[in-house]
Amino acid sequence: MNTLRVAVTGTTGRVGAALAKGFASQHQVIELPRQAFDLADPAGMARVLERLDCDVFLNPAGLTGLEDCLENPALARRLNAEAPGEIAAWAARKGVRLIHFSTDYVFGGREPGLRHEPDPVAPLNDYGRSKQAGGQAVLAHPNTCVMRISWVFGPEKPSFVDGILHSALQHEPLAAVADKFSLPTFTRDLTDWVLALARSEATGIFHACNSGEPASWHDLAEAVVDHLVRSGRLEARPPVARQLLDEVPRFRATRPRHTALATGRLTALLGNPPRPWRDALADYLDTPPAPSN
Ligand SMILES: NC(=O)c1ccc[n+]([C@@H]2O[C@H](COP(=O)([O-])OP(=O)(O)OC[C@H]3O[C@@H](n4cnc5c(N)ncnc54)[C@H](OP(=O)(O)O)[C@@H]3O)[C@@H](O)[C@H]2O)c1
């Protein structure tokens, strides 16, 4: 198998850190954290790109907080829409394969059901609008992919799953939103899928998440505590209070309710469907944390 030179942005983030580590076992990775490659600085970006020599460019970096995007829509547009377009134009000139990362929040999610790649988008917030614009800007160029992912968890950075895990083990009260549905994505699985996509010649939009019934955060929290009881880390199953999306005061940006992604294109690429999210979650919860240096 040929070793590829792979540039990865956002390597201090959840997805970028996972990709940089996962790709490094098979490929030569060039890490581009914000200090080396600031998406807010077009001239600085152009200088780095001018000198960059790679076969594949992975772009998970961006402004990912919904409330951050609400407060600063111009920055959201710059990082999530304009910068990916500039990277894609450079990649097209250089013949570099670009995989850009987007989100299930490009969908309005008013009706239950799975969202397929060609389904109409209708983002409800500045984050989703900026990510959708970035995806379009990327797809205007050849040899590009936009991977839409959802509810990412993994060891790289604490997520909702880790919050529930920690609170359950500390015997703190648990509560989670029960009227908003998506599908979780384990970073270890995501890395395998991106490795396969990077090696392929496939282009366009790919939906990527673990499989199973669409889940609410409440379902995910219950799956965490159930696993802790089954594996003997908790003696009794603590209750998880059901919250309503509209009752969470810190959520100021509007969130879509039904954004679970259908992964038929990814399944065709891999030859197998992504494993069920409950299996991926159990795998993650059973993996001891890596020793910190
Ligand atoms: N996590 C999820 O559940 C989820 C769900 C759906 C889609 N996604 C998409 O997946 C991608 C990766 O998400 P993530 O979870 O890894 O996000 P994350 O943990 O918030 O990481 C974001 C990364 O972007 C970097 N960044 C922020 N501003 C930057 C700038 N001006 N220039 C360069 N880099 C900058 C951050 O660097 P600093 O550390 O320096 O801030 C960080 O490395 C995003 O495109 C997101 O839209 C994520």
- pLDDT tens profile 113-135: 999 999 999 999 999 999 999 99
pLDDT at residue 258 in the model: 97
Which amino acids are annotated catalytic? 127
Q: How far apart are CA 83 and CA 95, in angstroms?
A: 18
The residue nearest atom 2 of ligand 1, judged by CA position, is 152
Tell whether the model's pLDDT for residue 263 goes beyond 90: yes
With a 6 A CB cut-off, is 60 part of the ligand 1 pocket?
yes
* Choice among 123-132, 201-210, 224-233, 245-254 with the minimum mean pLDDT: 245-254
Instruction: Tell the residue nearest (CA) to atom 36 of ligand 1.
Output: 10
Q: Does any ligand 1 atom lie closer than 6 A to the CB of residue 34?
A: yes
pLDDT class of 28 with cuts at 50, 70, 90: very high
State the average pLDDT for the chain: 96
Q: Beta-carbon neighbour count of residue 280 at 10 Å?
A: 24
Domains of the chain: 5-158+184-212+258-277 (3.40.50.720)
pLDDT recorded at residue 277: 98
Q: Is the pLDDT of residue 90 over 80?
A: yes
> Is there a contact between 161 and 220 (Cβ–Cβ < 8 Å)?
yes
Mutation probe of ligand 1 site: the residue of 8, 9, 11, 15 with most atoms within 8 A of C-beta: 15
- State in Å: Cα 64 to ligand 1 middle: 5
231 CA → ligand 1 middle, Å: 32
**269-280 pLDDT, tens digit each:** 999 999 999 999
For the chain, where are the E strands, in sequence order? 5-9, 28-32, 56-59, 97-103, 144-149, 152-153, 174-177, 181-182, 185-186, 204-208, 215-216, 240-243
Asked if 125 and 66 count as a contact pair (C-beta separation under 8 A), the reply is yes
pLDDT value at residue 291: 55
Q: Out of 86-95, 131-140, 254-263, 281-290, which region has the weakest mean confidence (pLDDT)?
A: 281-290
Mutating to test ligand 1, I would choose from 12, 49, 64 the residue with most ligand atoms within 8 A of its C-beta, which is 64
Task: State mean pLDDT over 91-100.
Answer: 97
Gyration radius of the chain's alpha carbons = 19
Handedness of CA 25, 30, 34, 40 (dihedral sign): negative
Q: What is the pLDDT of residues 131-176, one digit of tens each?
A: 999 999 999 999 999 999 999 999 999 999 999 999 999 999 999 9
> Is the minimum distance from the CB of 79 to ligand 1 under 6 angstroms?
yes
Residues in Cβ contact with 103 at an 8 Å cutoff, skipping those fewer than 6 apart: 127, 128, 131, 148, 149, 150
Q: What is the mean pLDDT of residues 20-34?
A: 97
Are 58 and 99 in contact by the 8 Å Cβ rule? The answer is yes
- In the prediction, which pLDDT does 278 show? 97
